[in-house]
Amino acid sequence: GQQLNQSPQSMFIQEGEDVSMNCTSSSIFNTWLWYKQDPGEGPVLLIALYKAGELTSNGRLTAQFGITRKDSFLNISASIPSDVGIYFCAGHGSSNTGKLIFGQGTTLQVKP
């Protein structure tokens, strides 16, 4: 089945630094979604992307739907301690099973 490869697996950065993470697939995706999961909570949707090439911002977060429809990235600018958590990419593949496919997650730690 379709899979998403998310990288990096983990990041440990200094407060104020910018962060970038990405997801890639060998097959086409029709939507890309980015979630954040705080410790002990369920994932919360951050950004949704529906068109190839689309670039969307949500505060300090920016995400793009790759032009090939096989990748997406998420950038966080000027990181703060509350950015700590696990970030998951997810998408609906072209096989149209109706189920979201999730990446493996990127664990972000921010040092004050």
Partner 1 sequence: EADIYQTPRYLVIGTGKKITLECSQTMGHDKMYWYQQDPGMELHLIHYSYGVNSTEKGDLSSESTVSRIRTEHFPLTLESARPSHTSQYLCASADDRSNYGYTFGSGTRLTVV
Q: How many CB atoms lie within 10 A of CB 16?
A: 12
Confirm or reject binding of residue 86 to partner 1 (CB under 8 A).
Answer: yes
Which of 11-19, 60-68, 70-78, 84-92 is the region at the interface with partner 1 (rule: CB under 8 A)? 84-92
Q: Does residue 105 interact with partner 1 by CB under 8 A?
A: yes
Cα-only R_g, the chain: 13
Classify 4 as helix, strand or coil: coil
Minimum distance of partner 1 from residue 7's CB (angstroms): 14
CB proximity list for 52: less than 8 A, separation 6 or greater: 65, 66, 67, 68, 69
User: Which residues bind to partner 1, rule: CB under 8 A?
Assistant: 1, 30-31, 33, 35, 40-45, 48, 50, 86, 88, 90, 92, 96, 98-100, 102, 104-105, 107
